[in-house]
Amino acid sequence: MLPHGRLERVGERMLTVEGRIKMPLVDLPRRMTVVRLRDGRLVVWSAIALDAPAMATLDAFGRPAFLVVPNDHHRLDARAWKQRYPDLVVVAPEGARGKVADVVPVDSTEPDFDDPDVTFVTVPGTRGHEAALVVRAASGTTLVLNDLVGNMRAASGIDGWLLRVAGFAGDQAQVPRVVRLALVKDAADVRAQLLEWAELPSLERILVSHGDPLDRDPRRTLRELASTLA
């Protein structure tokens, strides 16, 4: 189990927690998001192994039912979660299925959460390698992204410099350079999807796997990100 913070409530039906993972050159922040479906089951997005108190909080929030591995770089703790909750339905985008299956069997690439307010999306233009979630609630809509957008504003030191070079850190949210090289295969398709999300009714925030939530004019943020792919 790697270092992590406390689970925090987001809106009416979500929890999120930030952890850190030691990469070859940097100490990288990472985020897990948990969505509660209408029937009390939970969708666990980009799983992070948590300590006992945090797991007790999560178990009190609902029953883990779906484990979403949003791309093949986010599979580190998937096996531990599957061992703790053997009935979890493991979900991954089709393009990442093979590598995720090296760690844990994948049950679905097009999950049905039986909740019209929670939608799994395989991001166009990524050859099926990157996923997203759209979560609707009475208070507003949350867009849950993975590596497609980085938003590390406070990165400093050597780690911060390297993360800025990679494009995960900076003065504003951005599509990281390394993600463009590794995941974005059709920039026009990705751009179109960002612009489509910018029209989501009552879009309240964007959660990303690496960086802080984006809750100040998220529609404008998506349009600005799309413009960098023009």
- Give the pLDDT confidence of 120-143 residue by residue, as tens digits: 999 999 999 999 999 999 989 999
Q: Residue 58: inside a domain, yes or no?
A: yes
Q: Residue 1: inside a domain, yes or no?
A: no
Among positive and negative, which fits the CA dihedral 105, 95, 151, 203? negative
State pTM to two decimals.
0.91
Q: What are the tens digits of pLDDT across the range 44-80?
A: 999 999 999 999 999 999 999 999 999 998 888 999 9
CA dist 150 and 207 (Å) reads 10
Q: Residue 2: inside a domain, yes or no?
A: no
Mean pLDDT value across the chain: 90
Q: Residue 220: inside a domain, yes or no?
A: yes
Range of the domain at 92: 8-227
Q: Residue 3: inside a domain, yes or no?
A: no
Please count the structural domains in the chain.
1
Q: The CATH number of the domain where 28 resides is what?
A: 3.60.15.10
Taking CA atoms, 222 is separated from 65, 93, 219, in Å, by 30, 22, 5
Q: Residue 132: inside a domain, yes or no?
A: yes
Structure tokens, 43: 């969708």
Q: Which helix (H) or strand (E) holds 97?
A: helix 97-101
Q: Determine the pLDDT at residue 182.
A: 85
Q: Residue 146: inside a domain, yes or no?
A: yes
Regions of the chain with pLDDT less than 70: 1-3, 23-26, 153-167, 169-170
Q: Residue 204: inside a domain, yes or no?
A: yes
64: left (phi over 0), alpha (psi -120 to 50) or beta: beta
